Structure 1
Amino acid sequence: MTRMTADERLRDGSLLEERIQTLLKPSVRKIDCEAYYPLDYMTALGRDGFFRSEGERAQEVRMAGVRIVEETAAACMTTAFNVWCHLAALTYVRHSGNAALRRTLLPGLENGELRGGTGLSNPMKFYAGIDKLYLKAEREGGGYRVSGQLPMVSNLGEGHWFATVSETAGGERIMAFFPVGAEGLRLEERLGFLGLNGSATYSCSFDRVSVPEEWIVSESADEFVARVRPEFVLYQIPLGLGVTAAAIRSIRQAKEKQGGCNGLLPVQPEQLERELERLREATYRLASQLEEVSAWKALLRVRLDTVYLTLQAVQANMLHQGSAGYVQTSAPSRRLREAYFFANLTPTVRHLEKLLAAQSLPVDESLL
């Protein structure tokens, strides 16, 4: 197909909408109820150029990523979460100073041949002072051996890679990628969640897994994670934006139910739309100015506000839909479960509140 720039992907949503309509929407119930992984959709995004970054400005790439997650989440947040995992993995590779790693992974991650997961939930909690690191690394030759266990890593399967952080006996922390299928790496699928069982989530046990030099993202993980953390959080925000937009549409569809008495409910679509538009504008503004020192606290504020708006919107959606929303396989009940996952996605609501409380600088209001 003709090469699209990130800017063109933002302005012309027809191809993305076509992929959502044909490759994603027909499978949403199967994804939600049967833990189905939408491989065709994930592959198509790469094949169609939605993940391409060569020759494009970083701001355009970030804004395109936000748009992809938001539009996908409006149809299915499980799949949008998988897209977020992939974008996070792409972020790590793009920022790595290891040219061999970039040659190995970047083309495949961008063109849809490979998919990426992110094992940074535990490290993000570690850097916030609320958990210990679960993986240990031993130096061996030019690389390392990694051991330990991660309870949950998502977007995994054949042809998938994921990154995580491990610590040496000397207290140094390294970040590296691992392919699913690496010798000594054992995966066990995690199911039985309230929602998002189609997210291809596994516990990962490392038994002295070899890490050659070409898999190393950074041998200074502390500084590297601090550098990529804003993009990690940025791409999460549109998960909530998409779910909220879908909930508002569903509320409007129920306007005439029960003789129009939905108009008496305390939360109406207009107020949700105003807050949604404010947060959407702030998200794209942050995507274009993420390098600003003041962006981090504003980013945390927008991420947290989006969680609270999403929770409010899906609850209102359930009330406006009434008994129709109470069916287990209904879209409103699915969005309710998706929203509670969003609230517990690292950084969780309480994690975000802690991060914001620790910031000494005030929020830059011009970014909100």
Structure 2
Amino acid sequence: MPAERMLPTPEAEDLIALTREIVTKELAPRAAPAEEAAAFPREVFRLLGRAGLLGLPYPEEHGGGGQPYEVYLQVLEEIASVWASVAVGVSVHTLACYPLSAFGDDEQKKQLPDLLGGELLGGYALSEAQAGSDAGALTTRAVRDGEGYRVTGSKAWITHGGEADFYVLFARTSDEGGRGISCFLIEGQLEGLSFGPPERKMGLTGSTTAQLHFDDVAVPAGWRLGAEGQGFPIALSALDSGRLGIAACAVGLAQGALDHAVTYATQREQFGRPIIANQGLSFLLADMAAAVESARAMYLEAARRKDAGLPFSRQASIAKLVATDAAMKVTTDAVQVLGGYGYTRDFPVERYMREAKVMQIFEGTNQIQRMVIGRHLAKAAGH
């Protein structure tokens, strides 16, 4: 059964209805074959873009949808309930547009309609092989060269690596630790920019993840977003919103697994009755439903704080932690509900289970989220 939603406006209700129609008619039939073939669904992102779903939380004057984060995240959840790779891709694209929207100057922001219009797809180039959770330790360097910069180094674990039309790049412009990092918006195809082969992942096989290699790549100074050395605060502020995106994806994944489990349990009969009539199984499904709805409530609380202009960093970390742990548990239990069938590729729950694992890892591992939450608690207590 679809998730029950309390939406703030009739426009938001129409948006969810449109998303469900696209998800049912366009995404659901393509998801399993694309994941099986590890095929990047570029045309699906164009479809979503033309429907206005790639720029929902950005201002209408810049080509966005003008929707609050509360609504955008629920659209993301609807997509993830059928195809997590695409939902994660939408989240990453939205994340990649944030630095330009929040920190670009008036001239730079003229590019926003192109980025949000649906024909272009973004990537977020922050992580490196030795600088994942410790983003301040990155080594990719942008050196001043006349009116621009020359970039050398490598980025790792980049969603849409080699597929994106543009990337937000974080590179070191001085040796001052976190204060020596700057942010750039770069084109996806530049002389000296190359890409590693796609990573061979456990799940999200329809989402290309690859390394980016910069070999003395020329980047004009006008492509820098914000001041030189402002990159680390830009990255951190973007990640709070990105964590909410992953929380919504995780809840959608869990909702999809729950839906399949309930459908199976009502149709599968043993000893003359549906297996959902067995208390042991019905209690398992009840716990799954409680986990999904609790996680949804958490990310919506964080999103409403963001929409109200209130601090939401701690709530974003809690939402990401709770939602992704819930997704791992719910998808595992969905496989159990389906028994032997759940372990086969004839049903999507085994794929959902594989996809749930990475939700606990990217956008900051859940161990990092606990550190962030703990620091907020210590700060609130005056330590």
Match of 1:306 among 323, 337, 353: 323
Structure 1 spans left out of the alignment, 5+ residues: 1-5, 364-368
**Residues 103-252 of structure 1 correspond to what in structure 2 (within 5 A)?**
103-104=110-111, 106-122=112-128, 129=134, 132-157=137-162, 160-171=165-176, 172-218=180-226, 219=228, 220-252=230-262
Normalised by the length of structure 1, the TM-score is: 0.88
The alpha carbon displacement at 1:34 in A equals 0.8
Change in 2 beyond 3 A, CA 1:130/1:119 = closer
State how far apart, in whole Å, the 2-side matches of 1:159 and 1:296 are: 28
1:270 maps to 286
The answer to whether structure 1 residue 72 and structure 2 residue 79 are counterparts is: yes
The answer to whether structure 1 residue 356 and structure 2 residue 373 are counterparts is: yes
Between stretches 38-47 and 266-275, larger displacement belongs to 266-275
State how far apart, in whole Å, the 1-side matches of 2:188 and 2:70 are: 29
Between stretches 307-316 and 267-276, larger displacement belongs to 267-276
The alpha carbon displacement at 1:32 in A equals 1.2
**What CA deviation, in whole Å up to 9, does each residue of 1:87-130 have, x standing for no partner?**
111222211233333223x112211011111123349966x647
State how far apart, in whole Å, the 1-side matches of 2:33 and 2:82 are: 13
Structure 2 spans left out of the alignment, 5+ residues: 1-7
The alpha carbon displacement at 1:27 in A equals 1.1
Please tell me whether the aligned partners of residues 128 and 154 of structure 2 are also in contact (alpha carbons under 8 angstroms).
no
1:366 maps to none
**What CA deviation, in whole Å up to 9, does each residue of 1:147-202 have, x standing for no partner?**
10112211245561111211124432111122221111001231421111211222
State how far apart, in whole Å, the 2-side matches of 1:165 and 1:140 are: 17
State how far apart, in whole Å, the 1-side matches of 2:87 and 2:311 are: 28
State how far apart, in whole Å, the 1-side matches of 2:48 and 2:68 are: 14
Please tell me whether the aligned partners of residues 29 and 329 of structure 1 are also in contact (alpha carbons under 8 angstroms).
no
2:4 maps to none
Change in 2 beyond 3 A, CA 1:149/1:157 = closer
1:85 maps to 92
The alpha carbon displacement at 1:267 in A equals 5.6
State how far apart, in whole Å, the 1-side matches of 2:287 and 2:120 are: 41
2:12 maps to 10
State how far apart, in whole Å, the 2-side matches of 1:187 and 1:221 are: 23
1:283 maps to 299
The alpha carbon displacement at 1:233 in A equals 1.3
Which letter maps to 2:73? V
Please tell me whether the aligned partners of residues 331 and 349 of structure 2 are also in contact (alpha carbons under 8 angstroms).
yes
Please tell me whether the aligned partners of residues 60 and 66 of structure 2 are also in contact (alpha carbons under 8 angstroms).
no
State how far apart, in whole Å, the 2-side matches of 1:273 and 1:179 are: 43
Please tell me whether the aligned partners of residues 121 and 164 of structure 2 are also in contact (alpha carbons under 8 angstroms).
yes
State how far apart, in whole Å, the 2-side matches of 1:65 and 1:162 are: 22
| CA RMSD, Structure 1 to Structure 2 (Å) | 2.7
Change in 2 beyond 3 A, CA 1:63/1:121 = farther
1:3 maps to none
Please tell me whether the aligned partners of residues 242 and 363 of structure 2 are also in contact (alpha carbons under 8 angstroms).
no
State how far apart, in whole Å, the 1-side matches of 2:310 and 2:98 are: 19
2:5 maps to none
State how far apart, in whole Å, the 2-side matches of 1:49 and 1:80 are: 14
The alpha carbon displacement at 1:227 in A equals 2.8
Please tell me whether the aligned partners of residues 252 and 269 of structure 1 are also in contact (alpha carbons under 8 angstroms).
yes
3-state SS of the aligned residue for 1:162?
Answer: strand
3-state SS of the aligned residue for 2:137?
Answer: coil
**What CA deviation, in whole Å up to 9, does each residue of 1:221-252 have, x standing for no partner?**
12322332321211111111101111111221
Identity %: 21
The alpha carbon displacement at 1:139 in A equals 0.9
1:320 maps to 337
Please tell me whether the aligned partners of residues 236 and 303 of structure 1 are also in contact (alpha carbons under 8 angstroms).
yes
Please tell me whether the aligned partners of residues 7 and 60 of structure 1 are also in contact (alpha carbons under 8 angstroms).
no
State how far apart, in whole Å, the 2-side matches of 1:108 and 1:58 are: 13
The answer to whether structure 1 residue 47 and structure 2 residue 64 are counterparts is: no
Change in 2 beyond 3 A, CA 1:8/1:161 = farther
State how far apart, in whole Å, the 2-side matches of 1:351 and 1:149 are: 23
Please tell me whether the aligned partners of residues 267 and 316 of structure 1 are also in contact (alpha carbons under 8 angstroms).
no
The alpha carbon displacement at 1:42 in A equals 1.0
State how far apart, in whole Å, the 2-side matches of 1:102 and 1:344 are: 32
